[in-house]
Amino acid sequence: CVTGPATVIQAVAAGRQAAESMDSFLMKGYIKEGNIDYSCSRGSMEDLPKWEFREIPKVARATMPSISLAERKNNFNEVELGLAEETARKEARRCLKCGCSARFTCDLRKEASMHGIVYEEPVHERPYIPKVDDHPFIVRDHNKCISCGRCIAACAEIEGPGVLTFYMKNGRQLVGTKSGLPLRETDCVSCGQCVTACPCAALDYRRERGKVVRAINNPKKTVVGFVAPAVRSLISNTFGVSHEEASPFMAGLLKKLGFDKVFDFTFAADLTIVEETTEFLSRVQNKGVMPQFTSCCPGWINFVEKRYPEIIPHLSTCKSPQMMMGATVKNHYAKLMGLNKEDLFVVSIVPCLAKKYEAARPEFAPDGIRDVDAVLTTTEMLEMMELADIKPSEIEPQEFDEPYKQVSGAGILFGASGGVAEAALRMAVEKLTGNVLTDHLDFEEIRGFEGVKESTVDANGTKVRVAVVSGLKNAEPIIEKILNGVDVGYDLIEVMACPGGCICGAGHPVPEKVDSLERRQQVLVNIDKVSKYRKSQENPDILRLYNEFYGEPNSHLAHELLHTHYTP
């Protein structure tokens, strides 16, 4: 019976109030390695405080630290278990052996402990259901599913596409697609929020760690890594390093893992701003298609291509920073170093699953050679660190490598919702007024976690009206208006699929509390504040790249390597 645990978890998702009003809950259950199943009997909520915790049986004891009743009631906080923090984290990650090894805290385990679920040997085995592998990298394992419905809610209510649903098969409630089509053929945007929502790794994604380790071990390959802006927000909070130390720590970690060169993705965010703002100003001057939508989030691009192809002319033609960096490394860096493209293995490290989809698109593999050979999530990078048994204290902070070393604070802001628009405004206002922008660099009204934020900036009489959207469902009303010929009152619209932007991407370990998302955002804001350069257009390495290679923004070569087309 799955009603019990499912009800508990659903109640958690819906809020504590819902839990209070439930009239049934799980009383008995079991968890065994690599599988979760439950048997249950019914009781009433009033019985809950009278529950006695029973002895944890062998199978569970082998995978969980021993804990007292008081400690279990205390929300299963690993530090309160009296274990060294690092050991406790490992334990918390290992706990249920569901396979979600990246989770630092596990809601399922926490709730099971809070509600006093007792682990027992199964009464009977349920037939094994083969894993469903109907997406380029998202995999569903029904055997682990507890029917909590979180993935369905994440897809419909957090993100927007709403492609998942429950269905019944052979008396079991399973998660599938509404249309019955394979996931890859639905409007799934590959954002991975369903994976983040799943408390027991019934939804997970295929790792690319092996591919990267093989390249590192291949002496013919020069392995280049570049790290996305939002990754440092997680690194700072996870390892307790200051915002200023986060970037050198990441560069040191990747070098220790065996990468030959490590660049900062933020460099490509700066490149994107120069290209995208030049395109925006040209649309303003030449009365091009307005408003212009940003194009750096591959989840958003998938959404437009699959559900709203009519608004493609509104999308900036700029590739995302990931693909600009890949094309620049495989062309400019290869030429500079006298390397064959085939011998360069380029890896991006991001907080995003949709970027795995983006990097594998055929248009980003000219002559069959991918611009970005592998995409590791932040979680995969931490897993590699654990597999290689690297202790944080062993990491020697390093600088990022030349020739893409200098980055701006504006580029760093890309990692949180509003950052792309803020960086674009810092350039657009300067170009429209003809004056160097020295103060009023902060556009705080477009930062934060609200689904839609807006700002109007007066640049010497020219008004630039900006909207910032995160969570795809929040973009739909704006798109509908544009399609109906209504003036939405914006010139530039930033859209990021994940609520709050990339700091909330599914490639990060699951955040512990909402507050930790705010801490992630604050890390980026703090880095921007102390940056030597705070505008993308003043980054000296960007200016040199144009001088030496691209010529000028939106040049012919820039269009060839840094811009793209979309496929309805």
Question: Given the rule CB under 6 A, which residues bind ligand SF4?
Answer: 191, 297-299, 351-352, 354-355, 496-498, 501-502, 505
Cα 316–Cα 317–Cα 319 angle in degrees, nearest 5? 105
- Residue 55: other Cβ atoms inside 10 A: 9
The greatest distance separating any two alpha carbons of the chain, rounded to the nearest whole angstrom, comes to 76
* Minimum CB distance to ligand SF4 smaller for 265 or for 400: 265
Rounded least distance, CB 468 to ligand SF4, Å: 12
* Minimum CB distance to ligand HC1 smaller for 5 or for 419: 419
Binder of ligand HC1 out of 76, 404, 414, 449 (CB under 6 A): 414
* Minimum CB distance to ligand HC1 smaller for 147 or for 320: 320
Residue 106 designated active-site: no
Residue number of the CB atom closest to ligand SF4: 505
- Residue 85: other Cβ atoms inside 10 A: 10
Cα–Cα distance, 118 to 5 (Å, whole number): 12
191 binds, among ligand HC1, ligand SF4, none (CB under 5 to 8 A by kind): ligand SF4
Residue 88 identity: A
Residue 200 designated active-site: no
* Minimum CB distance to ligand SF4 smaller for 108 or for 359: 359
Do 321 and 562 contact (CB within 8 A), yes or no? no
DSSP code of 563?
A: B
Residue 121 designated active-site: no
Site string for ligand HC1, 330-369 (x = CB under 6 A): --------------------xxx--x--------------
* Among 78, 159, 275, 276, the one annotated catalytic: 276
Do 315 and 153 contact (CB within 8 A), yes or no? no
H helical segments located in 416-555: 419-433, 472-483, 514-529, 540-545
Residue 426 identity: R
Rounded least distance, CB 503 to ligand HC1, Å: 7
Rounded least distance, CB 142 to ligand SF4, Å: 25
501 binds ligand HC1 (CB under 6 A): yes
321 binds ligand HC1 (CB under 6 A): yes
Backbone angles phi, psi at 173, to 5 degrees: -90, 120
* Among 110, 144, 355, 453, the one annotated catalytic: 355
Residue 472 identity: L
Rounded least distance, CB 222 to ligand HC1, Å: 22
Residue 555 designated active-site: no
185: exposed, middle or buried (C-beta count within 10 Å: 0-12, 13-18, 19+)? middle
Could you give the C-alpha distances from 10 to 30, 471, 505, in angstroms and in order? 19, 21, 22
299 binds, among ligand SF4, ligand HC1, none (CB under 5 to 8 A by kind): ligand SF4
Helix (H, G, I), strand (E, B) or coil at 449: coil
Tell me which residues are annotated as active site.
276, 279, 296, 316, 355, 358, 363, 502
Return residues touching ligand HC1 (CB under 6 A): 228-230, 265, 268-269, 296-297, 320-322, 350-352, 355, 414-415, 501-502, 505
